[in-house]
Amino acid sequence: MPAERANLNNKNMSEGEPKIEEQEPEKPERTSGIMRVAGVSAEEERIILERTKKEYFDKQTPVEGEREKSPEESEIINDILAKLPEFIKEYGGTPLQLKPEHIHVVNPEKLSYMQRRSYKKSGARGGYTPEKQTVEILAVTQSKLIFGICVAHELIHFNSFQSAQYSPEGDRITERVFGVSEVSKDEEHIYFDDFNETITEELAARFEREHFKSIPLLHKALKRKEEMAVGVKWPEEVSSVEDIMDIIVKKGWFRTQYGVARRGFLEESAKLWEMIKEIQQKNSEKFKTDEDVFRFFTKAYFTGKRLGMARLIENTFGKGSFRELGKGIISNY
C-alpha cells in the first residue's frame, strides 16, 4: 500500500468522477515506477521522467526511521527481486530493474507521530511511495514469512502502471493513476483503492505460492504454514494441501486466520471473486474461465489501459456500476 494514501481513502466521491482516460501504450523501457505524466507536452514529460529516474529512482537516500537490513532480510529481498520480473511479465507487466536499495526497512518507533498514525490508520506494514520511488517495510515482526509477503506486495505495487500529474507550484509531481486506482486532480479522493489493493494482494498470494518454496529462508516457514492446516475444519470441497493453497489465493481466509499477511483481505478477496465469476458467466463468449477475467484486470493493472475494463463492468452490471466500484469493492458487489 502506498505509504501516503491513508488520509485520502475516507473522502467522499464527488459527482461525475472518475473519468477514465485511455492511456497510450507504455514505453518499451521503464526508467522508474512513473511511466506517464498527465497534462504536459511530450518534451516536458521526457524531462520529468528523466529527472524522476536520476533524482529518485537511481538515487536512493535514507528514509525517516530507516535501519540497516539484517543479513536474513537482505537475502529474502535479493531472492524475491530475482524471481519477480518473470512473474510480472506473466501477468502482462513491464518489470522494473529494482535493487535492494529501493527497499528501506523502517523502525516504527523512529517515525514521526503523523507517520506512525498514518500506518496505524491504514493497518499497513509497509508502503510504496511513487513520488519518492521507495518501498518502506515496517520492522514490526520477527516472522520471515510476513516480511517476505510485505516485500512482494509492495514490489508488485512498484511494478504496476503509474502515471503522475505535474504541479508547477512547487515544481512537484503527485500520483495520478496507480495500477487500477486513480487520484482525483484535486488530490482529495482515491477511486478504486480497494479494488487495486485486492488485485495486488491476489498477485502477492500467487507469487508466494509459486516462488516462496524455492526461497531457502521462506521454504520452511511456508511448509509450517501448510502443515498448520492439518486438522483445521475446512469446507467439504477441501481435500488436500493444494486445495488449501487455492483457498489462500482466492479467498485469503487462511492468511487472515493465522495472521500471515499484513492485514486480512478475506472480505475484499471474496467480493472480487464473486464479481469475477458473475462477469465470466455473463460474458462467457469472451471469457472461458474466471482466470481469464482476472488476467483481463491484471492487464489493466500493469498497462494503464482501463477503458476496456470500465466498459466491461458497465456492460455487465449496468450504467453507473463502474462509478460505484470506484467507491469501494466491498460495499457494491
Indicate the SS3 state at residue 131.
coil
Residue 36's DSSP bridge partners are: 163
Identify the band that residue 139 occupies on the pLDDT scale cut at 50, 70 and 90. Answer: confident
Instruction: Record the cell numbers describing residue 233, joined without a space.
Output: 475444519
> Comparing C-alpha atoms, which of 190, 186, 165, 185 is closest to residue 175?
165
Q: Do residues 96 and 31 make contact, with C-beta atoms less than 8 angstroms apart?
A: no
**Weakest-pLDDT range from 32-41, 258-267, 323-332:** 258-267
pTM score > 0.85 for this model?
A: no
pLDDT, residue 25, reads: 47
Taking only Cα atoms into account, the Rg of the chain, rounded to an integer number of angstroms, comes to: 19
Q: Mean pLDDT across the stretch 160-185?
A: 89
Q: Mean pLDDT across the stretch 227-254?
A: 52
Each residue of 68-116: pLDDT tens digit? 999 999 999 999 999 999 999 999 999 999 999 999 999 888 888 888 7
CB atoms within 10 A of CB 309: 20
Residue 174 has pLDDT above 50, yes or no: yes
Whole-number Å distance between alpha carbons of 46 and 62: 27
pLDDT, residue 9, reads: 43
Sheet strands (E) in 189-264 = 190-191
Instruction: Record the cell numbers describing residue 247, joined without a space.
Output: 483457498
Whole-number Å distance between alpha carbons of 74 and 68: 10
Identify the band that residue 240 occupies on the pLDDT scale cut at 50, 70 and 90. Answer: low
Q: Do residues 276 and 287 make contact, with C-beta atoms less than 8 angstroms apart?
A: no
Give phi and psi for 245, each to the nearest 5. Answer: -65, -30
Instruction: Record the cell numbers describing residue 285, joined without a space.
Output: 463468449
> Comparing C-alpha atoms, which of 240, 262, 265 is closest to residue 250?
265
Each residue of 195-212: pLDDT tens digit? 999 999 889 988 988 899
pLDDT, residue 134, reads: 96
Element (H, E) at 183: strand 181-183
**Weakest-pLDDT range from 96-100, 116-120, 263-267, 311-315:** 263-267
Q: Do residues 321 and 313 make contact, with C-beta atoms less than 8 angstroms apart?
A: yes
pLDDT, residue 221, reads: 75
- Provide the residue ranges of all domains of the chain, joining segments of one domain with +: 6-12+27-203, 234-332
Percent of the chain with pLDDT over 90: 49
Each residue of 266-289: pLDDT tens digit? 567 778 888 999 999 999 999 999
CA angle 138, 143, 144 (to 5 degrees): 90
pLDDT, residue 256, reads: 38
Whole-number Å distance between alpha carbons of 203 and 277: 18
Identify the band that residue 164 occupies on the pLDDT scale cut at 50, 70 and 90. Answer: very high
71-90 and 193-211 helices cross at what angle (nearest 10)? 110
> Comparing C-alpha atoms, which of 204, 199, 155 is closest to residue 296?
199
Instruction: Give the dihedral of Cα atoms 45, 49, 52, 57; nearest 10 deg.
Output: 160
